[in-house]
Structure formats: structure tokens, C-alpha cells
Chain A
């Protein structure tokens, strides 16, 4: 099993050049049954990342391009009157194991919230009928931080729905050179072979939830939560849900590291991705979330 996970990472790394940490975090997010928000500039490989992961893990993949005129029905699906004289439900693109919600902040809040609700509940209710989403279900949303005109940035409270938020950033020169030299990414993607499948992924998710979390680790995580709550620059500290998210993510990270127990390093590795989008600064504060994260990373391990 661990070998297969290693293979997933290796295969993906062959496509996503120079982003091993981001890749690992993305995979961690899937293993922890969470959803991922990627906030970055266009053209750094967000779509490729989503595509690659779906392909390597052997999952169905759908992409929804969010636009200002996107309606909830365009995401969830709709019933259409057919020749047979009956309404038949046409499932929307959300009915897929991996969904890439591209530029989520360009759609209006109503559509955003249709997606977020589906993410949260793992099912959709359309015209009074509740339909389960496929399992495993993983949403990878992207958000462009630069476009400010005509966008609806996700409210801070909604960001909580995502287990992690990561930034990809530019690749380092070496990786970028390789990327420039090589053939088209799409062809590489086409050539990619699935290493796992949905069932295996679900098994791994099971496995991740069973990773042992010892008492001292709980102390450590609680000290992080407590510190954030007492920090003068923060509007509110990390919520209990943030604490749970931290635990789930750390467990999945430990599994990726082929360990059956969580160590402080696992928490530190996922802390920025898990906590970064849950820290809300005081308006007059000089600090940034990055500074707070750095302080959290330097809390003493008991």
C-alpha cells in the first residue's frame, strides 16, 4: 500500500515539476477526506495538478469553469422533459469523483454556495430528491487573488469548508527549465497511467483516520489552538473545527510518511496549509497570517 502511494507521488511529480511539497499536501488533503483550495496566479499549473491527481489515482474528473453567469443548476444538474413524457435528471458536473472548480470567485455567491454545500454534505438535493455524490469525492477549487473587478471572493467563513489552502507559486528555475524544454503538458498527462483506483483511495482514507495520535500530540495541538486564541493580532483564534482539521491532516501526512503515529513534525508540515486561511486578523494589525503561522511553528513542543 505504501508503495502505491509512493508511486502516486512519483508519477505526479513527473508531471508537476518542482512542486513536491504542494503535491504532497494535495494528496494529504485527499487522504484526509478534505477539499483543497488553491489560491494562485493563472498559469502556474493548478489545473494540471487537479488533472494529474485524478488521473494517477484513477478517478473520474470533471471541471467546472466558474463564470459570473454560472447558475447552481449548471453545477448540480437539472431535470429535463424528455420525449418519453417524463422528467429525467441530468446530473451536473459535480457528480464526479474529482471536481475542479476553476476560478471559484468569479461566480456569484449563490452558485458558490451550491458547490460548498455539496462539498460539506457529500450529497445534493435537487427538486426534493437527495442524491449522493460519488465516493471518494474531492473538490479542488482555485481562486485568482488578482482579479478584483467583477469577482465575489469567498467570504472568510466559507473558507473554513476547505481543509487546506495552498499556493503553488512559480517553479524554481531548474524545474521551470525542464518544464520549458519538455513536450506539452497535455501530452504528458495523456500518457499518464492510473496507479490506484477509488477503492484503494477509500482504503487509504480509512487507514489515515486510524493513525495513532498520542496524548502529548493532543497537548501540542491544544497549545497551538490556545496560542492563536490569545494572540492580540487575531480577531478570533482557531476554532475546534480547525483543531480537528489539523489532526486529520497531520494523520494523513503521517500516513504519507509511512508512519502509524503522528509526530510534531507532521503537524508543523500541514499547519500553514490548514491554519493559514482560518486566521482572521484585526483590522488595525500589522501582522500577517504568515507571521502568525511562523509564531505557531515556533511554539515549544512539550
Chain B
């Protein structure tokens, strides 16, 4: 059976490969039938190239175009938008393969391919996608080169691929400085192009703006990164990190709804720090809500978004691109500036009657808030409460059923029940949702917080200390925490870490490396926006340069530019160094060190004779080197083996 290269030309092969690779990512992002049909068109072209099948005639092609377009419109109801647009351009590119009359048509296909590569970034901007699309771009360019080389259009031309690829690689490397310059200095749009489409984040999940039983544990299997946080100083332990997202203080008996922030002027907020202030920055992943997360509790002014009276940080609009902001936090504090109102005590009537009774009992024994809080926590600790990711379903009155019957729950059950108990005991309390902890990346020193780290806890009003965080879930003893393999993987204790096998350590450290890589990609490449560009110019303190040095700088730049224009490139170019010649020059240098320099006009044989006249003991290597040099340079001998032998002899001389 003839090999691939004997059936099709290098140009044909690379065109087919490039088209296939171009559409591959869209199998994930578009309905599967679009990918399959497009692949079918490519396959049809391949069958034609291999001589198995004819191409469709004009009418059939026209029919295929109409069917494809109709399919897209049926699928999306509209031809406009990101997904229908991408589907259309992909299908049309593949259809174009069925009517390649001349090289112009082939170029049209390839240019469409380049365009679709750019379209790919509208769907996914990860580092891996970037690497893949760079590879595809390389193959597209290679295909373009091969198509313009007549010899590559003949069968048995696969050997041409390697020299072309090498040349293309060289050209790409030469283009690299220009790419970097353009990346850094090219004017940016204030929001990236991929922020435009409206359906970009419909699939991504996160915290919802209300909390009912089962909401958060849906996220427990979702390991998407919510955000990454980096501390300027040594980070606090993970169990002290409560990332605040939203405060929920309205309870309807089933679910908790967001609080209405009151208009408290920010200056009048008196959060008294009781522990050192931590500086940190957060890199948010895109998400459908305008929520930003802060470390509980926030101090000072955030570099992005606005803080409201409930310490909720909100962006002007939903987070469409990776966003970085800086903020301060304090872990221990006194917060009396936003006293509770009646919403913080409100319970719907007939809610959780047994819980209310229990709370009244506690209240009768002590009026002190801390006593009642401790009593409640002790209740969770001492009764047989279990922490589980698969809690039993609750029906009528979730709080009572959980507190007195099932006693198995996830954080939202505990937070909800605890808050209800507090309110029943006359203590203002509210639910806070957000994330807890995070995985510390030791490679780049930041925390990765995933959706599975979603958490809910309570805040209780103490008369002196104000709002304080109470996490009822934290009191459940470890032996009553149902171990979940995922949890185990994410939060190994010190003992567990010591017991980890080498393989486990290796996989976790490589995971850290990969995530660190992705973090840097997001931070420095994707997140390089107008603002950062501007700050780059600002960081370079032009004003520090006096007028004199500034004019000298301009003069230097100007003369460099003039020189670049005036010095013809050819004069800077050296003749290509032939490897044989290079080795022989090295031989000459070695001989010169022995006091027998080679004269420019001397042929190798004359030189060898002169050397042997003075150093007859070198006869063997010198004769062989001369023979090899002459044969490699002047004869038809171009054997790699001989070149290696020459290199060996010269190096060992």
C-alpha cells in the first residue's frame, strides 16, 4: 500500500490537517453536529485528494450551503451572535474546501482558518488554548508556505515539510520581538473583545444570591477556580480565611435572601482592627454576577468596585474578564458602626417552632449573648450532628427537621439553623455566604479558591463588639465529618501530608506548578488591559528625567532610527557559515596556537604539508582532517557521518 506521501502532496496534506485542527476546539463550544458536518466536508475533500471520490457539482454545493445555514438558524433562531457567527464561518470554510479551483481559493480557506483561530479566543482564553492555537497558527502558516511552493504541490513532496517548517520557525522567532512590542505598546480597548457577547458565562456556576438547603453543596463537586488571592506578607492559615461574598438577612422559612444595604457613609464605619492589617490582592475569574470577594473583614478602599455598609464589594457590572484588585483585611475586629435593625431579628411566623422553643429555653437561662452563642455551639458539638455532602432531603420546615431529626447537613444547614436559633433567642444574626480557606500554591505563594470551597456562616451582634463571625460548621468534631475523597484531596492535614506517597506529592506539586503557570498567564497576558498599559507608562517616571536627559534620550532614539534606515541590512549580514568551513577554521586556530598559522591563500593540502614538516607526529589526524575537509567541501561527499568525524577529530586535536 502506498504511503500517504505517495498519494497526496505536502501542500494538500497540510491544508487538510490545518483545517481539521482549526475546527477541533469548536467541538466543545458549539453543538456537536456542526463539528461533525464540518469534519465531513474535510473528509470529502480528503477522499477526493486520495482519488476515491469526486467533488459535488455546483448545485449540490449550493444546496449544502443553504442546508448548513438553515441548520444554524434553526439551532440558534438567529444568524447573529457569537456562536451562530462562529458556526457559520467554520462551516463555510469547510465547504470552501469542496471548490478549490486555483491558489486563490486555497488562500481564502487559510485566511478563514486564521480568522477562526482568533474566534477561538472568544470562547476560551486559557493558557492551554493559547498554546494550542499558536500551534494551529504555525501549521496554517506552514500550509500557506507550502501552497506557494510549486514543488510542494506534487506528490512525494513530504520531505519539503521539514525545511519549510525550519524556515517558518526562524521567521517566527524573528517576529517575536515585534509581537512583544505590539503586545506591550499597542493601544488597548478598555474592555477586551471577548467581553462583548452576552452568552459568555451562562454555563459557569457560582454562588447564587440566595441560600436554601442544597444550594451550596451543589458546588461541592465543582472544582472551577473562583479566584486566586495573594498576600503581600506571610499569609494567615487557611482555616482563618473567610472570603465574604454576600450577606443574607431576610428569611422566608425556606431560603435566605440578600440584605438591603443601608446607606452608611464609608467614613463613619468604625471597624476597629484588633489584629494586624493584611494587604492582599485578588484575581477574580469571570462570573455572571457583579460580586467581588473580600477577606473577612475589609479595611480601607478597594482598588476596584465599591464596598457597601455590609462589607460587600460590588463591581459596576458583571465580571467579564479576569479582574485583579487590591484590598486590606483584618481578621479580628470590633464592628459597631452598623447596628442591627429589625430585619436581623425577623423570623416568619410559625417557623421552626421547636427551634424557637429551644432558643427560648437558652434565653431563660442567660441573657448574655456570648453564653447563648456558646450554648448553641455546644449543642451542635455535643449532640450527634454530622457534616456530610449528601444530606437527607428536607421538606416542610428545614430548620426543625435538621435540628431535631436528620442532624446531617452541609454548611448551609448549620448556618441557617444557627441563625434561626439566635434570632429566636433575640440576638440579631444574619447569614454570610462566600468561600472558606483555599489551597495554598507553594510555587507562586497564593491561594486558589475553588467553587467547591463555597461556604456559609453566621454573623451575630454582640452589644460591645458589634458584628462577629460565628461558624457553627467549624465546631463539628472531625470524627463526625463524613470524609469525602475530594475534601481529603483538597485539605490534607499535616499528618496526612507526611503520609502522602511520593507519587501523591509529585502530582500535587505538579498541579501547583500548572496552576501557577495559568495564574501568571491570566495575570500578565489576559489581564494586560488599558489600565495596566497606562500604569506601565506611569511606572516609568518620565518626570524624574530632567529636560536635558530627556532630550539626550530622544537624540539617541532618533539616531538609532536613522541608523536603522541608513545602514543597509546586507552590510550587517555575514556570509552563512558553512559547518565544514567552521570546523576547519577551528582546526586552523588550534594549529595557530602551535605556532603554525594558516595563511589565507593556502590550500588545505599545502597547509597540511607545512604542518607535517614542522610537527610530523600529527600526521594521522592532520591528514585525515585535510582529507575530510577537502572531500566535504570540494567533492560531492556530504555525509553527516563524515562531518561528525571531522568535528570529533578537530575537537580531540
**Residues of A in contact with B (beta carbons under 8 Å apart):** 212, 214, 216-217, 259-265, 268, 297-302
A264 near B603 (CB under 8 angstroms)? yes
A217 near B634 (CB under 8 angstroms)? yes
B635 near A212 (CB under 8 angstroms)? yes
CB distance from B606 to the nearest CB of A (A): 6
A263 near B604 (CB under 8 angstroms)? yes
* A-B contacts, 9 listed (Cβ < 8 Å): A212-B635, A216-B578, A217-B634, A260-B635, A260-B636, A263-B634, A298-B601, A301-B602, A302-B581
Across the two chains, which residue of chain A brings its CB closest to B604? Answer: A263
CB distance from A263 to the nearest CB of B (A): 5
Q: When A214-B634, A214-B635 are in contact, do A265 and B605 touch as well, CB less than 8 Å? A: yes
Across the two chains, which residue of chain A brings its CB closest to B635? Answer: A261
Interface-centre pick from A260, A297, A301 (highest chain B CB count, 10 A): A301
Chain B residues within an 8 Å CB radius of A298: 600-601
Determine chain A's interface SS by DSSP, over half rule.
Answer: loop
A301 near B634 (CB under 8 angstroms)? no
Give the docked Cα–Cα distance between A262 and B578 (Å): 18
B491 within 8 A of A: no
Contact for A301 among B578, B600, B635, CB less than 8 A: B600
B636 near A261 (CB under 8 angstroms)? yes
Chain A residues within an 8 Å CB radius of B633: 214, 216
Interface-centre pick from A216, A260, A263 (highest chain B CB count, 10 A): A263
Give the docked Cα–Cα distance between A260 and B631 (Å): 10
A-B residue pairs, 5 tightest by C-beta: A300-B600, A261-B635, A264-B603, A265-B603, A298-B601
Chain A residues within an 8 Å CB radius of B601: 297-301
B529 within 8 A of A: no
Give the docked Cα–Cα distance between A72 and B634 (Å): 46
B605 near A261 (CB under 8 angstroms)? no
Chain B residues within an 8 Å CB radius of A260: 635-636
Contact for A212 among B603, B604, B636, CB less than 8 A: B636
Chain A residues within an 8 Å CB radius of B603: 263-265, 268, 301
B369 within 8 A of A: no
Across the two chains, which residue of chain B brings its CB closest to A268? Answer: B603
B606 near A261 (CB under 8 angstroms)? no
CB distance from B542 to the nearest CB of A (A): 51
Count A-B pairs with CB separation below 8 Å: 43
Chain A residues within an 8 Å CB radius of B604: 263-265
> From residue 548 to 582 of chain B, which have CB atoms closer than 8 A to chain A?
578, 581
Across the two chains, which residue of chain B brings its CB closest to A297? Answer: B601
B338 within 8 A of A: no
Chain A residues within an 8 Å CB radius of B602: 301
Across the two chains, which residue of chain A brings its CB closest to B609? Answer: A265
B630 within 8 A of A: yes
Chain B residues within an 8 Å CB radius of A216: 578, 633-634
Chain A residues within an 8 Å CB radius of B636: 212, 214, 260-261
CB distance from B67 to the nearest CB of A (A): 59
CB distance from B115 to the nearest CB of A (A): 44
Give the docked Cα–Cα distance between A298 and B603 (Å): 10
A265 near B606 (CB under 8 angstroms)? yes
Give the docked Cα–Cα distance between A217 and B603 (Å): 11
CB distance from B646 to the nearest CB of A (A): 16
Give the docked Cα–Cα distance between A264 and B606 (Å): 10
Give the docked Cα–Cα distance between A260 and B636 (Å): 9
B631 near A261 (CB under 8 angstroms)? yes
CB distance from A9 to the nearest CB of B (A): 19
Chain A residues within an 8 Å CB radius of B606: 265
Q: A261-B631, A263-B603, A301-B602 are in contact. List 11 more A-B contacts (CB 8 A).
A: A214-B636, A216-B633, A259-B635, A260-B635, A261-B634, A263-B634, A265-B604, A297-B601, A298-B600, A300-B600, A301-B600
Chain B residues within an 8 Å CB radius of A259: 635
Contact for B634 among A212, A299, A300, CB less than 8 A: A212
A263 near B600 (CB under 8 angstroms)? no
Interface-centre pick from A264, A299, A302 (highest chain B CB count, 10 A): A264
Contact for B605 among A262, A263, A297, CB less than 8 A: A263
Give the docked Cα–Cα distance between A204 and B630 (Å): 23
CB distance from A250 to the nearest CB of B (A): 11
> From residue 575 to 617 of chain B, which have CB atoms closer than 8 A to chain A?
578, 581, 600-606
Give the docked Cα–Cα distance between A265 and B630 (Å): 11
Give the docked Cα–Cα distance between A30 and B100 (Å): 60
Give the docked Cα–Cα distance between A302 and B601 (Å): 8
CB distance from B582 to the nearest CB of A (A): 13
Chain B residues within an 8 Å CB radius of A264: 603-604
Chain B residues within an 8 Å CB radius of A302: 581
Give the docked Cα–Cα distance between A260 and B604 (Å): 16
Across the two chains, which residue of chain B brings its CB closest to A257? Answer: B605
Give the docked Cα–Cα distance between A297 and B635 (Å): 22
CB distance from A211 to the nearest CB of B (A): 10
Across the two chains, which residue of chain B brings its CB closest to A211? Answer: B635
Give the docked Cα–Cα distance between A259 and B603 (Å): 15
Across the two chains, which residue of chain A brings its CB closest to B629? Answer: A263
Across the two chains, which residue of chain B brings its CB closest to A296? Answer: B601
Give the docked Cα–Cα distance between A217 and B630 (Å): 11
Chain B residues within an 8 Å CB radius of A214: 633-636
Contact for B630 among A263, A268, A297, A300, CB less than 8 A: A263
Give the docked Cα–Cα distance between A300 and B633 (Å): 16
CB distance from B633 to the nearest CB of A (A): 6
CB distance from B622 to the nearest CB of A (A): 16
Chain B residues within an 8 Å CB radius of A212: 634-636
Chain A residues within an 8 Å CB radius of B581: 302
Across the two chains, which residue of chain A brings its CB closest to B630? Answer: A263
CB distance from B597 to the nearest CB of A (A): 13
Give the docked Cα–Cα distance between A233 and B425 (Å): 119
Give the docked Cα–Cα distance between A5 and B279 (Å): 93
Per-residue interface assignment for chain B, residues 622 to 649, with 1 indicating a CB less than 8 Å from any chain A CB and 0 otherwise: 0000000011011110000000000000
Interface-centre pick from B605, B631, B634, B636 (highest chain A CB count, 10 A): B634
Give the docked Cα–Cα distance between A268 and B602 (Å): 10
Give the docked Cα–Cα distance between A105 and B579 (Å): 53
Give the docked Cα–Cα distance between A297 and B603 (Å): 10
Chain B residues within an 8 Å CB radius of A217: 634
Give the docked Cα–Cα distance between A259 and B631 (Å): 10
